[in-house]
Structure 1
Amino acid sequence: MAEQKITSVNVNGIRAAVKTRNENNPGMLPWLAETAPDLVLLQEIRASEKIARTALAPALDDGWHLTMAESSAAGRSGVGILSRVAPSDVRVGYGSDEFDGAGRYLEADFGAGDDRLTVASVYVPTGAARTENPKDVEKHDEKVRFLDSFGPYLDGLLTSGRDVLVAGDWNIARDERDIKNWKGNRKNAGFLPHERAWVADRLASGWVDVVREHHGDVSGPYAWWSWRGKAFDNDAGWRIDYHLTTPSLAAKTTRSHVDRAAAYDRRWSDHAPVTVVVQR
C-alpha cells in the first residue's frame, strides 16, 4: 500500500498566492515544494488557465500537472487540481447548465480499475442572508440553487463503488464546533440553518467528514480567518474547508492536519491548506 497526501486550499487568487510578500513569506510555491503533497485541490484561482500556468510555471517545470476549470466570468472562481501524475480522466462540472461554466467543480480520476481514485475540487458560492436587498436575494438564491442541484450529484457518487474524495471551500460551517463566533453568526451566510442542514443531509447519506472524524469533538481545526482585525492572532476562524470521502476511502484515511501559518504576515491566502493522508 502507498501513502498519498491530498491537500485542499482556497488560494484567493493564484497570482497573489505565488507572490513573494516579504522576506518571511515567499508565497505558495516554496510551501508546495516543502510539504510535498501528491495532490493539491485548488479553489478560487481567479485567473484564466493561461495566466494560472504562468503563475505556477516553476512547479509545472518541476513535474507537476495542472488540470483546471476556469470561470466564464473573468477573474472569478476557478478550480484546479495539481498532481504529481497526470489524471487518467477529467470531468468539468456536474451536469448543471447554470454552474458547469462557473469554475466551481472539477473531477479527475487517477489510476484505473479497482485501484481508481476519484478526487474533486469544489468551490461553493458564498451566498448571503436573504434580506430586502436585491443583491443579497440574488446571492442567497444562487447558493440555494447550487446546493439543490449539487447535492443529488454528490449522493450519486456514493453509488460508484470506488474511492471518492470531494474537497474544497464549501462556504458552510457544519455546526458550533466549526466557527469560533457561532452565536454572532447565526443569521449570516455560511451558518444559516438550511446550509447546515444540507451538509447534515450529505453526511446522513453516507459521506464522511474525515477531518472531523480524526479531530473529534473539539473546536476547529479552523482553516479560514478574516484578513481584518485580530481574527488570525486570536484564532477566531471558520472550518469551511473540508474533505468529504466515501466510506471506503474514509477507512483508509490515517491522519489529517491544517497547515496554519506561523504568523499573520506569513499567510499567502486567507485560507490555510488542509491535508488528509490515505493508505491505498
Structure 2
Amino acid sequence: MRVISLSVDGIFQAAQRGLYTWLANQDADVICLQDLRALEYELDKPIFQLDGYFAYFFDSGTKHYNGVAIYTRVQPKALIYGLGFSSGVDMEGRYLQIDYEQLSIGSLLAPSATSEMESQEVKIKFFDDMQAHLDKITRKRREYIFCGNWSMAHTPRDVSNSTENQHNSGFLPHERQWLSQLFNQLGYVDAFRRVNRDGDEYSWWPSGNKDEGDGWRTDFQVISNSIGGKVEYATIYKSQQFSSHLPVVIDYDIELEH
C-alpha cells in the first residue's frame, strides 16, 4: 500500500502547478492532502478528480482556509470528520479519517502558530488534546496512520538551521518535547524515519522555494507501533514543487480491506 501526504497551500494553485497530473502517475492507494483553502462544492470540477479513486473532503465551512482531503482506491467502511475534542480546538485545524476493517488513515492539518500568544495557546491546547486522544486509542484493536502537516519539527536534523530556529514556532522546546513523548512514551512511530535516516530530508520551506532559505521536516506519517515493521520505503519527492511543502511518499506491507 502506497500512501502519499502533501500540504498544498491552496488546492487551486497546486492543481495549476500539475499536482493532479503527478498524482495520477504515482500508483498510490491513499492520498492525503491538507490546507486546501477551498470549500467542498468548489472541488467538484474535473481538475480535482482522480480516475479510480473515491474522494472525500472536509472544508472550513465558511472561509477559504484550512481543509483536508483523502483520495482512496478502496471505499472505506466509515468516515470520521474532526477529532471530537470537547474544547472544540480541533476545528482550528482540520482532520478527516477513513476506516477499514482493522486500519484507519487520517489526514491532519494542525493549527499553525506565530509568536503571538493567542495562536500559541491554541496550538498548545490542540496538541495537549491530541495527545490525550492518541493515548486513548492505543487501547483499541486498530492500527492507525496519521498523515499530515504537524506544523513542527522534532530533532535538529529535521531543521536545516536548527540553532538559529530553536526559538521559532515549530521548533520550540515544548513542541519538540511533545513529539518526543508521542514517539517515546505513547509508542507511535515516525514512519519516514523508520526506514530513511538520510540527512537533508526536509518537507517544508517557509520561503516557499526549496532552493532558498531553511528547510524543515514538519510533514509526518505517524503510525501505530504495531505496523512500524511494515514500512518498506519512504521518500520526500523533490523533483517538482506544488507548494511550499513536498510530498511524503511511504510504502507499507499492508493491503486495504473493506
Q: What residue is the counterpart of 2:109 in the other structure?
A: 123
Contact map agreement 2:89 2:122 (CA 8 A) in 1 = no
Any idea what the Cα deviations from partners look like across 1:51-82, whole Å, max 9, x if unmatched? 123264442xx122111211134111111111
Alignment match, 1:183: 163
Matched residue, 1:6? 3
For residues 165-180 of structure 1, what are the structure 2 equivalents within 5 Å? 165-180=145-160
1:256 paired residue number = 234
Query: Which residue is equivalent to 1:16?
Result: 13
Mapped partners of 2:49, 2:4: distance in 1: 19
Q: Which residue, out of 231, 242, 245, partners 1:268?
A: 242
CA distance in structure 1 between the aligned counterparts of 2:89 and 2:62, rounded to whole angstroms: 11
Kindly indicate whether residue 98 of structure 2 is the aligned counterpart of residue 108 of structure 1. Answer: yes
SS at match of 1:34: coil
- What CA distance in whole angstroms lies between the structure 2 residues aligned with 1:37 and 1:6? 6
Could you say if the C-alpha distance between residues 63 and 102 of structure 1 is closer, same or farther in structure 2, counting changes exceeding 3 Å? Answer: farther
Equivalent residue for 1:64? 53
Q: Go from structure 1 to structure 2 and tell me whether the alpha carbon gap of 1:198 and 1:68 turns closer, same or farther (over 3 Å shift).
A: same
**8 Å contact from structure 1 (residues 78, 102) kept in 2:** no
Provide the C-alpha distance between the structure 2 equivalents of 1:177 and 1:103, rounded to a whole number of angstroms: 26
Is residue 2:235 matched to residue 1:277? Answer: no
Q: What are the Cα deviations for residues 119-169 of structure 1, in whole angstroms up to 9, with x where unaligned?
A: 01111111123xxxxxx1111111011111111102222222222111100
Q: Quick check: 1:224 aligned with 2:200?
A: no
Unaligned runs of 5+ in 1: 21-26, 130-135
Check the 8 A contact 1:93/1:99 in 2, yes or no.
no
Looking at structure 1, the residues matched to 53 and 225 of structure 2 have their Cα atoms a distance apart, in angstroms, of 29
Post-superposition shift, 1:247?
Answer: 1.4
Alignment match, 1:214 = 195
Moved over 3 A (4+): 55-58, 99-103
Rate the CA distance shift 1:55–1:11 in 2: closer, same or farther, 3 A.
farther
User: Is 2:172 the partner of 1:192?
Assistant: yes
2:8 touches 2:36 (CA, 8 Å); kept in 1?
Answer: yes
Distance in structure 2 (CA, Å) of the matches to 1:108 and 1:9: 17
User: 1:89 aligns to what?
Assistant: 78
- Matched-pair contact (CA < 8 Å) for 1:11–1:271: yes
* Partner residue, 1:236: 214
Q: How does 1:134-145 map to 2 (within 5 A)?
A: 136-145=116-125
Find the counterpart in structure 2 of residue 133 from structure 1: none
Identity, % of aligned pairs?
Answer: 30
Per the alignment, residue 183 of structure 2 pairs with 203
| Structure 1 residue 80 corresponds to structure 2 residue 69 | yes
Pair 239,71 (structure 1): closer, same or farther in 2 beyond 3 Å? same
| Superposition RMSD in Å | 1.8
> 1:208 & 1:164 partners in 2: Cα distance?
10
| Residues 20 and 48 in structure 2, CA contact (< 8 A), matched pair in contact too | no
1:232 deviation in Å?
1.7
| Matching residue's letter, 2:105 | V
The aligned amino acid for 2:141 is G
Return the offset for 1:235: 7.5
Q: How far off its partner does 1:102 sit?
A: 4.3
SS of the residue aligned with 2:145? strand
